Structure 1
Amino acid sequence: MQELEVREESLPESTISTREHLIARAFAVELGLPCVDPDECFFENGGTSLNAVLLVANLQRQGLRVSLDQIARFPTARRLARVAVERDDAATIIHPAPEGRIPLLPMQQEWLANGIPRPGSNVVGFLLNASEPLDFAAMDAAVRAVVDHHDGLQLRLNQHDWPRTQRLDRTPAGPFLRMLARFPDDELELQRIADELRSDLDPIDGPVVRGALFPGSDDEVGRLLIVVHHFCVDAVSMQIVLADLDTAYMQIRNDNQVVLQRRSSSILELAQAASMFHLRPSAAESVTYWLEQAELLRSEDTEPRLTLTRRRTGQIIKEICGVRPSVRVLFGALAYAVRRSEMRDVLAVRMTHHGRGRFSAQLDLARTVGWLATQIPVVLDLRAIQSVGGAMALVDQALARALRFGENYQSLAQWLAGPAGAIIRSVREQSDVTFNYYLRQPNLMRDAQLAPANQQPHFMPTDTTRVPAMALYISGDFTGPMSLRWQFDPAIYDTDLIDRLAETQVAAIKEVCDGDK
């Protein structure tokens, strides 16, 4: 801290003032606010760790280099301006194409746990609307430029390796697009086109990117339907890919050289760091934490307390209007609902996380394209919960510890051998609720020619996707309606129970938000 203060004092006030203004403006853009005061806290204004990752990328585009750790320690524009440094593009390291086999990332390994799925399974898609007709040749060249720029889009699965590995394939795989004369009026026809595109995708031999372009006319805007195999991207990566696609298209359309924003750390670096994490001295503390969580789970009777009947699996949709719940509120309300239903004394939940804070001291993952998302088990001892407020306090403590050790949980589960590794893996296996929090992602495509028609990536899984005993999917928009969708095993949980859980959770969310707690 002393070194930072000395350095702060050595900066000219004019430089600090300029940086404050730039950073405050970047805060506002990432938070969706008209403006942010230089002394206002990024996180108290609604910023999340994912917003922070995107803030890093935004500031890099404007010539300032900051880290996630710096944003956490100096969360106001005024303080962050004093520790940010000017970006030196000349110092950018170009990562050579790796030789040999690349370890799988944890979510890739998880996806392949039941064997190699058929081509076309597990695809992420976006429908993009343009503000004018689209040029087919320019768009196909733009897709090629983006694929060439991001090594994550060049990954291929080595199907005969055991353990499974992947490789980079820089062989041209074009053309990437099909041109269709007219955008279909029938939604079923659009789905048929999407199904044809996804059937072309193959993580083993390629391609992993395909699209259909509807060029449009003077009376009709152009549209682009693009699908990417989930093996190579997650939701945040798709935002990066689409933003670069828009940039490349406009540069080609205007007869300019394609110059995309500097890449951050490569997938190779991340895969190697993840596969070696269990050997680092710092992993010992994480191992101890997860062994403690496994012990807590062993103290719980794993059978539901209620006598349940087999009923038809269904989806319970509950609309929540006029509230702005955070992750902790949604999570705390879930814990409260489960406790009130007297289902469990201990609840283990798999929480989906963007995974871009891993190895932040060594790697910059702000603009890395790949399946970086991870799942973190959060174990909650519900016995002390007496109120909604008590549930929130419990979740605050549990999330703080889980996030501290959790981003590398799947790396430990994947690579740690012996009894300790088996016990740590059991925490994931005993997590009977999946908490997927897919609220609208921060938008990387501001001022873009191409605007996503679907604010959320459309995930198209197949029957190879494993379904847990119970899963809660939360989607929507912080500023509007939100939906809770429960997916469950009717052999264990019946619809009446899920309905009560949803009703109780909605009531708990409203209690917290109405009380401004």
Structure 2
Amino acid sequence: MDELAEDVADIPVGRPLDNMRVYVLDTGLGLVPPGVVGELYVAGGGVGRGFVGRPGPAGGGFSPRDVFRWRTVEALAGVAQTASVGVVAEAAGESLGEVPSTPVMSLFAERGGPVDGFYQSMGARVPSGTRFPQVERSVQAVLDHHDALRMCAVLEGDRWELTVPAADALRAGSILRRVDVAGLSQDAVAGVVVEQRVAAQGRLVPADGVLLQAVWFDAGPAAEGLLLLVVHHLVVDGVSWRILVPDVEAALAAVVAGREVELAAVATSFRRWARQLAGEAEVRAGELALWQRVARTADPLLGARGLDPLVDVASSAGQLEVRLPVEVAGPLLGAVASAFRGEVNDVLLTGLSRAVNRWRGTDGPVLVDLEGHGREEVAAGLDVTRTVGWFTTVYPVSLEPGSGDVGSSVKRVKEQLREIPDKGIGYGLLRYANVDTATEFEGPAPQIGFNYLGRFQTGTHSDGALTQAAGLSGGMDAGMPLAHVVEVNALAEDSGEGPELRAVWSWAGELLSEERVAELAQAWFEELTALVQAVTEGA
């Protein structure tokens, strides 16, 4: 914190750009240098979403679209508004009631198989000396504040019936468990966490409105504990965790200090956003030709056959975790993306498409199912930067990196990604929410799936087992059909010494061997390393 204070002290204040730089630092993104600065999205590795919707610097404000469109500090300072960003207030009770199924929810239902155990988890720190009633009260405050966490989700065939009940419908005491880990060794604690996470997964019952389980690992009155949140994926995504975990920790701090819990307001409810999104389906009809062209991309089989939903399920999947060290990942996620005036996905997908072509001996386009945050500004007056829910978009992209040097490949892939309107949100709307176009999307999905979740602060490897257990994790029911033959979920983990790129590869174990997937993972890291070398060496 002393270094941060010195950094702030060195910045002259008064001008919009200087105020903006102080504000970015104060909101946890790290100091962005003066002059030709790196992009906010790059600097934060996705964390930039965390400060949208907060009071702006020196009274200024900006909309969600401003941050994602104007990604440099200079540009954002230029558009910062001195008045309200124009968010329309919701009427009382507008967040409650029936919720239309969003495209990603419809995609999930379409997969079939068991769905109750599809979850993500993260941990929140619990101050030493905290008592069970205090944890319970804190969890209740968060449940009451974030409507989606109380949602009742009933799967009828291939469609969801979703309802958000009143704030007092779910009591924290019914979903909260305390586990005593005081005095246990690190290995023992790690084992208990895994055991309890699996047990919490088994207690999720979406049809009964039980989409969250909270497990308090109590390390004793003199030690910091951990509140593990196991949440069904229907109501949480990567951005939601950046809202949910800080809110839980803020609630705990307030309750322990004897204060009332006061969480920042949620400007737009998930229900309102979902209803607005459903109305966009007709507007997106003009994108149909684009998506048909992408769907025509040749996608040679990666294995002996396509996916079989009865055979290729979670229990038969392989998994491999690899890490790109900080000396490569740091420049990759910062200087490299900034050098091409691009986003992190531009460089990661360039490396992936080149690696896939090397791996299968081809030189054409690579078809990939790409996940995005999905929080696009579909209409004026909406602000979902404080909204917990599953906003993710999933859409196919055809990436043709070419056979030239890595630099030219980045430029090609970047241009191809920019051709897609609004980060692909129209694809799901046309496929699942527009009856006139839905039949145009019959056929298999891309065999490769990719998702970059952004940057997360983590504990160091020397920290205790509870700190390490706080990181983002997830799982699904053993019988749930796989979505892709090969899937990559990547995130940047920063323990204070710079980011490592952590990539979890999963694949259909009946179609590909671990050795074969490891070759692809290695080829990807080699391409990313070559990109770093090309930029840092001035190639």
**TM-score per shorter chain, which class?**
0.7 to 0.9
Q: CA separation of 1:416/1:87 partners in 2, compared to 1, >3 Å: closer, same or farther? A: closer
CA distance in 1, matches of 2:431, 2:97: 24
> Does the 8 Å CA contact 1:134/1:223 hold for their aligned counterparts?
no
Q: Out of 430, 437, 449, which is 1:434 matched to?
A: 449
- Residue 439 of structure 2 aligns to which amino acid in structure 1? A
**1:320 has 2:324 as partner:** yes
Greater shift in the superposed pair: 283-292 or 181-190? 181-190
CA distance in 1, matches of 2:238, 2:469: 12
Report the counterpart of residue 438 of structure 2 in structure 1.
421
Report the counterpart of residue 398 of structure 1 in structure 2.
416
> Does the 8 Å CA contact 1:380/1:395 hold for their aligned counterparts?
yes
> Does the 8 Å CA contact 2:149/2:211 hold for their aligned counterparts?
yes
Q: CA separation of 1:79/1:258 partners in 2, compared to 1, >3 Å: closer, same or farther? A: closer
CA distance in 2, matches of 1:245, 1:62: 28
Tell me by how many angstroms 1:480 deviates.
4.1
Cα deviations by residue, 1:291-310 (Å, 9 ceiling, x for unpaired):
22223x2xx36345999xxx
Report the counterpart of residue 263 of structure 2 in structure 1.
260
Q: Out of 371, 391, 401, which is 1:372 matched to?
A: 391
Report the counterpart of residue 293 of structure 1 in structure 2.
294
CA distance in 1, matches of 2:264, 2:414: 37
CA distance in 1, matches of 2:94, 2:40: 42
Cα deviations by residue, 1:18-64 (Å, 9 ceiling, x for unpaired):
65444222223457433543x55451782468444323134459864
Report the counterpart of residue 352 of structure 1 in structure 2.
371
**1:411 has 2:429 as partner:** yes
CA distance in 2, matches of 1:431, 1:133: 51
CA distance in 1, matches of 2:363, 2:199: 45
Q: CA separation of 1:313/1:284 partners in 2, compared to 1, >3 Å: closer, same or farther? A: closer
**1:477 has 2:473 as partner:** no
RMSD: 3.5
Report the counterpart of residue 151 of structure 1 in structure 2.
147
CA distance in 2, matches of 1:229, 1:262: 23
Report the counterpart of residue 101 of structure 2 in structure 1.
104
Q: CA separation of 1:91/1:303 partners in 2, compared to 1, >3 Å: closer, same or farther? A: closer
Please list, as runs of the form range in 1=range in 2, the aligned pairs for 1:45-444 lying within 5 A after superposition: 46-47=42-43, 50-59=46-55, 64-71=60-67, 72-73=69-70, 75-77=72-74, 80=77, 83-87=80-84, 92-97=89-94, 101-115=98-112, 117=114, 119=116, 121-160=117-156, 163-170=159-166, 171-175=169-173, 176-183=175-182, 185=185, 186=188, 187-280=190-283, 283-295=284-296, 297=297, 300=298, 302-303=300-301, 315=319, 317-321=321-325, 322-324=327-329, 325=332, 326-341=344-359, 342-343=361-362, 345-359=364-378, 361-381=380-400, 384-402=402-420, 404=422, 406-418=424-436, 420-424=437-441, 426=443, 429-441=444-456
Cα deviations by residue, 1:319-363 (Å, 9 ceiling, x for unpaired):
432113232222111111222232463321011211112416342
Report the counterpart of residue 457 of structure 1 in structure 2.
472
Report the counterpart of residue 504 of structure 1 in structure 2.
523
Cα deviations by residue, 1:157-216 (Å, 9 ceiling, x for unpaired):
134487422001221333142233434542333322223322222111122222222444
> Does the 8 Å CA contact 1:134/1:216 hold for their aligned counterparts?
no
- Residue 105 of structure 1 aligns to which amino acid in structure 2? T
CA distance in 1, matches of 2:352, 2:191: 36
Tell me by how many angstroms 1:316 deviates.
5.0
Give the ranges of 4+ consecutive aligned residues of structure 1 lying more than 6 Å apart after TM superposition: 88-91
CA distance in 2, matches of 1:316, 1:250: 37
CA distance in 1, matches of 2:502, 2:71: 34
> Does the 8 Å CA contact 1:214/1:223 hold for their aligned counterparts?
yes
CA distance in 2, matches of 1:90, 1:107: 25
Cα deviations by residue, 1:461-482 (Å, 9 ceiling, x for unpaired):
2224432112223344363443
Cα deviations by residue, 1:214-271 (Å, 9 ceiling, x for unpaired):
4444543233222222221112212211111122222222332222101021111221
Q: CA separation of 1:154/1:60 partners in 2, compared to 1, >3 Å: closer, same or farther? A: farther
- Residue 173 of structure 1 aligns to which amino acid in structure 2? R
Residue 290 of structure 2 aligns to a residue whose secondary structure is helix
- Structure 2, gaps ≥5 residues long: 1-12, 306-315, 333-343, 459-465
Q: CA separation of 1:161/1:147 partners in 2, compared to 1, >3 Å: closer, same or farther? A: farther
- Relative to the length of structure 1, the TM-score reads 0.81
> Does the 8 Å CA contact 2:226/2:467 hold for their aligned counterparts?
no
CA distance in 1, matches of 2:41, 2:488: 26
Cα deviations by residue, 1:106-164 (Å, 9 ceiling, x for unpaired):
22222222447354x01222233345222221221111111111111121113448742
CA distance in 2, matches of 1:497, 1:291: 31
Tell me by how many angstroms 1:432 deviates.
1.0
Residue 172 of structure 2 aligns to a residue whose secondary structure is coil
CA distance in 2, matches of 1:173, 1:404: 38
Matched residue pairs, number? 481
CA distance in 2, matches of 1:213, 1:235: 22
CA distance in 2, matches of 1:54, 1:256: 25
Residue 277 of structure 1 aligns to a residue whose secondary structure is coil
Tell me by how many angstroms 1:103 deviates.
0.9
Q: CA separation of 1:220/1:100 partners in 2, compared to 1, >3 Å: closer, same or farther? A: closer
> Does the 8 Å CA contact 2:366/2:398 hold for their aligned counterparts?
yes
